[in-house]
């Protein structure tokens, strides 16, 4: 038997390891989550692995970072590189970790001063030439960095205007990888680019006085604006349903400072705030097309992005041609209408986003559009009418507080020189009634009657005995549900608030019950 003895060095090779950590932050829904980018550079076959549950865009960062480093004049280590995105229990998506990965590799290779990355948060996408590109969600990302105790944030130059909206955080805008390294070595900081002007929205140029006539529809819309009630307009083509809906935001009360921050954060997460240095101070008005998908309406996709219901948070979601939306899409509105938020569940995580919007829907009463109209006779057959009505389910209609039939304006109204009320006049009444509601509930979560929890409605909304009798008769005659009972009381309380009454009277209850109209009948509905 032969025994061969080999030196110890034949089996063991001394491995040189370099290690660095860069602080970064990832977008999870509309919130930022701190992420530690750990980079290990060791001897071995040249590889670049990213672990920590990375998405496809994060895995592709290997090629972007490698090219960006070389084209910026830095050496890319021909060694075994392992980058870990911690914590590793939630999926990281998007290109926002590119800059942190590149800085971690440079720090591990001792191209940066010792501890240069310890007190700064870094995020941003890299181009192949080493330049930076803006990413969506800069505002919630910087907000998360501040909440974690960091006072400095390095980010792409075109995201800088969003970052300065968060006070108490030093913003370090960089236009390239070289600019980022120069700051860490010398402290030189670039200036922000020229700010883009905010284009004036078309809605802001519209006024309540543009709508002539339509007294009953305008009255219903004022009640809806005051109490935050969902409303559905029926009517033949050209009656003015869309025109009425577009004027709702002009009479709503201004956003509070807290509401501005949340609304701006949602739009930032959707990538709609690049090069803008201002909080959104106008209530959103979203009008998705009826071909919108379920994910586009309530949120979703990969990575998960806010849908129209979240983009309309604290504003108005207008769904024109309501029955033409897909059944799955409009049925998905049930949860956000009821709870004011939407939850998107995936295998690895569940994300909840705010969705406290006011729904305004418009629909023709039938396929031809003239059911219930005194102007033209409906030609739809009963099967056509049944199929058309079945596109909107009863449970969804039950969640809509008010349904109003809109008649076309008369020739006299269109040619009249009578001055209509302006938006400022109606808004003044809405704000006055809103103060009554705020004093009634005294809760930040229950400002308007439409948003208040049911237990507060029962405790603090007083009904006159005659109003209670009217409601009882309607409940039995119309076979109302418990939800319908609750919503009628809310609308009646809003009508009482507009009248300056502390107790719901019989006339207030009768008007609220009148708004429970559903699909019009074949008989003409006269104004």
526 lies in some domain: no
Q: Rg of the chain's alpha carbons, rounded to an integer?
A: 29
- Total tally of structural domains belonging to the chain: 2
Q: Tell me, yes or no, whether 360 and 461 share the same domain.
A: yes
Which H or E element spans position 360?
strand 358-363
Question: What gap in Å lies between CA 119 and CA 109, rounded to an integer?
Answer: 19
Q: What is the mean pLDDT of residues 482-495?
A: 94
3 lies in some domain: no
Which H or E element spans position 62?
helix 61-71
Q: Which residue has the higher pLDDT, 61 or 206?
A: 61
pLDDT > 90 fraction of the chain, expressed in percent and rounded:
62
Whole-number pLDDT of residue 202: 42
Question: What gap in Å lies between CA 350 and CA 275, rounded to an integer?
Answer: 31
Which H or E element spans position 318?
strand 316-319
- Read off the DSSP letter of residue 112: S
Q: Band of the pLDDT at 161, cuts 50, 70, 90?
A: confident
Instruction: Say whether pLDDT at 198 is over 60.
Output: no
| Residue 489: count of CB within 10 angstroms of its CB | 22
Angle, CA 521 vertex, CA 515 and CA 524 arms, to 5°: 95
Whole-number pLDDT of residue 478: 87
**Residue 65: which domain range?**
17-186
Q: What is the mean pLDDT of residues 106-125?
A: 90
Bridge partner list, 122 = 154
Instruction: Say whether pLDDT at 362 is over 80.
Output: yes
Whole-number pLDDT of residue 347: 73
Find the distance separating the first CA and the last CA of the chain, reported in whole Å. Answer: 112
Out of 263-267, 371-375, 420-424, least confident range: 371-375
The Cα-based distances of 303 to 52, 136, 151, 298 in angstroms read 16, 12, 28, 14
487 lies in some domain: yes
Last residue of a domain, one of 154, 186, 218: 186
Cβ–Cβ < 8 Å for 497, 433: yes
- Read off the DSSP letter of residue 21: E
CA nearest to 219, candidates 406, 432, 60: 406
Whole-number pLDDT of residue 151: 95
Cβ–Cβ < 8 Å for 89, 53: yes
Is beta strand 132-133 parallel, antiparallel or unpaired with respect to 125-126? antiparallel
Helices (DSSP H) in 275-381: which residue ranges?
Answer: 294-298, 308-311, 327-331, 334-339
Q: Band of the pLDDT at 306, cuts 50, 70, 90?
A: very high
Q: Band of the pLDDT at 364, cuts 50, 70, 90?
A: very high
Q: Tell me, yes or no, whether 335 and 286 share the same domain.
A: yes
Residues in the chain, overall count = 527
Angle, CA 361 vertex, CA 357 and CA 364 arms, to 5°: 175
Question: What gap in Å lies between CA 375 and CA 296, rounded to an integer?
Answer: 37
CA nearest to 373, candidates 241, 527, 481, 488: 527
Question: What gap in Å lies between CA 437 and CA 402, rounded to an integer?
Answer: 19
Q: Tell me, yes or no, whether 350 and 446 share the same domain.
A: yes
Instruction: Say whether pLDDT at 197 is over 60.
Output: no
Structure tokens at 487: 């919503």
Question: What gap in Å lies between CA 413 and CA 119, rounded to an integer?
Answer: 67
- Read off the DSSP letter of residue 135: -
SS3 354: strand
Q: Tell me, yes or no, whether 276 and 167 share the same domain.
A: no
Q: What CATH number is attached to the domain comprising 272? A: 3.40.50.300
Last residue of a domain, one of 186, 217, 239: 186
The Cα-based distances of 466 to 307, 401, 469 in angstroms read 44, 22, 5
Cβ–Cβ < 8 Å for 92, 25: no
192 lies in some domain: no
Q: Band of the pLDDT at 15, cuts 50, 70, 90?
A: very low
Q: Band of the pLDDT at 272, cuts 50, 70, 90?
A: confident
Q: Tell me, yes or no, whether 150 and 220 share the same domain.
A: no
Out of 26-30, 174-178, 227-231, least confident range: 26-30
Whole-number pLDDT of residue 310: 96
Instruction: Say whether pLDDT at 375 is over 80.
Output: no
Q: Tell me, yes or no, whether 146 and 289 share the same domain.
A: no
Is beta strand 358-363 parallel, antiparallel or unpaired with respect to 231-234? parallel
Last residue of a domain, one of 153, 186, 219: 186
The Cα-based distances of 433 to 245, 253, 254, 440 in angstroms read 21, 11, 14, 11
CA nearest to 240, candidates 217, 265, 209, 274: 217
Q: Which residue has the higher pLDDT, 416 or 466?
A: 466
Q: Which residue has the higher pLDDT, 517 or 211?
A: 211
Q: Tell me, yes or no, whether 283 and 399 share the same domain.
A: yes
519 lies in some domain: no
Question: What gap in Å lies between CA 301 and CA 368, rounded to an integer?
Answer: 36
Out of 190-204, 230-244, 295-309, least confident range: 190-204
Residue entry with tokens 């990832």: 26
Whole-number pLDDT of residue 149: 95
| Residue 13: count of CB within 10 angstroms of its CB | 9
**pTM of the complete model:** 0.87
pLDDT > 70 fraction of the chain, expressed in percent and rounded:
91
Q: Tell me, yes or no, whether 165 and 300 share the same domain.
A: no
Cβ–Cβ < 8 Å for 222, 499: no
6 lies in some domain: no
198 lies in some domain: no
Q: Tell me, yes or no, whether 150 and 243 share the same domain.
A: no
Cβ–Cβ < 8 Å for 284, 358: no
Structure tokens at 68: 């960006």
- Read off the DSSP letter of residue 191: P
Structure tokens at 406: 């809109």
Out of 310-319, 331-340, 383-392, 445-454, least confident range: 445-454
Instruction: Say whether pLDDT at 429 is over 80.
Output: yes
| Residue 90: count of CB within 10 angstroms of its CB | 15
Q: What is the mean pLDDT of residues 11-33?
A: 80
Instruction: Say whether pLDDT at 276 is over 70.
Output: no
196 lies in some domain: no
Per-residue pLDDT of 491-515, as tens digits, reads: 999 999 999 998 999 999 999 999 9
SS (H, E, C) 195-238: CCCCCCCCHHHCCHHHCCCCHHHHHHHHHHHHHCCCEEEECCCC
Question: What gap in Å lies between CA 366 and CA 234, rounded to an integer?
Answer: 9
Per-residue pLDDT of 67-84, as tens digits, reads: 999 999 999 999 999 999
Instruction: Say whether pLDDT at 14 is over 70.
Output: no
Q: What CATH number is attached to the domain comprising 40? A: 3.30.230.10
Q: Which residue has the higher pLDDT, 504 or 200?
A: 504
Q: Tell me, yes or no, whether 249 and 395 share the same domain.
A: yes
Q: Tell me, yes or no, whether 152 and 227 share the same domain.
A: no
Q: Tell me, yes or no, whether 300 and 181 share the same domain.
A: no
């Amino acid at each position: 038997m032969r025994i061969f003895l080999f030196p110890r060095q034949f089996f063991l090779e001394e491995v040189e390891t370099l290690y660095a950590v860069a602080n970064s932050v990832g977008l999870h829904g509309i919130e930022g989550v701190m992420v530690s980018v750990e980079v290990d550079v060791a001897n071995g076959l040249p590889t670049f692995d990213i672990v920590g549950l990375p998405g496809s865009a994060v895995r592709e960062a290997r090629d972007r970072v490698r090219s960006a480093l070389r084209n910026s004049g830095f050496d890319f280590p021909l060694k075994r590189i392992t980058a870990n995105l911690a914590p590793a229990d939630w999926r990281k998506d998007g290109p926002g970790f590119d800059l942190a990965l590149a800085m971690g590799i440079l720090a591990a290779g001792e191209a940066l001063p010792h501890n240069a990355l310890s007190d700064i948060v870094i995020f941003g996408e890299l181009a192949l030439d080493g330049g930076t590109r803006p990413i969506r969600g800069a505002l919630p990302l910087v907000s998360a960095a501040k909440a974690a105790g960091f006072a400095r944030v390095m980010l792409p130059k075109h995201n800088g205007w969003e970052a300065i909206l968060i006070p108490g955080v030093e913003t370090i805008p960089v236009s390239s990888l070289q600019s980022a390294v120069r700051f860490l070595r010398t402290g030189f900081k670039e200036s922000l680019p020229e700010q883009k002007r905010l284009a004036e929205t078309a809605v802001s140029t519209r006024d309540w006085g543009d709508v002539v006539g339509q007294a009953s529809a305008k009255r219903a819309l004022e009640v809806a604006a005051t109490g935050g009630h969902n409303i559905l307009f029926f009517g033949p083509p050209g009656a003015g349903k869309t025109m009425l809906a577009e004027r709702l935001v002009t009479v709503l009360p201004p956003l509070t400072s807290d509401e501005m921050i949340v609304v701006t954060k949602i739009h930032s997460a959707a990538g709609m705030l690049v090069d803008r240095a201002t909080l959104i101070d106008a209530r959103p008005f979203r009008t998705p097309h009826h071909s919108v998908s379920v994910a586009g309406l309530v949120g979703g996709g990969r990575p998960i992005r806010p849908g129209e219901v979240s983009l309309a948070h604290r504003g108005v979601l207008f769904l024109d041609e309501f029955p033409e939306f897909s059944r799955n899409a409009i049925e998905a509105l049930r949860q956000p209408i009821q709870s004011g938020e939407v939850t998107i569940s995936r295998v690895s995580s569940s994300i909840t986003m705010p969705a406290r919007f006011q729904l305004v829907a418009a629909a023709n009463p039938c396929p031809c559009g003239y059911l219930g109209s005194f102007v033209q006779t409906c030609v739809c057959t009963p099967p056509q009418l049944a199929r058309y009505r079945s596109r909107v389910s009863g449970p969804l209609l039950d969640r809509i507080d008010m349904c109003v039939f809109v008649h076309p304006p008369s020739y006299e109204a269109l040619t009249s020189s009578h001055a209509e009320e302006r938006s400022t006049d109606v808004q003044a009444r809405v704000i006055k009634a809103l103060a009554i509601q705020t004093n009634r509930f005294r809760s930040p979560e229950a400002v308007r009657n439409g948003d208040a929890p049911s237990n507060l409605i029962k405790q603090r909304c007083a009904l006159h005995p005659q109003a209670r009798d009217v409601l009882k008769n309607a409940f039995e005659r119309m076979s109302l549900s418990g939800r319908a009972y609750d919503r009628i009381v809310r609308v009646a309380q809003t009508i009482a608030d507009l009248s300056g009454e502390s107790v719901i009277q019989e006339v207030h209850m009768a008007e609220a019950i009148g708004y429970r109209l559903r699909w019009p009948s074949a008989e003409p509905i006269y104004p």
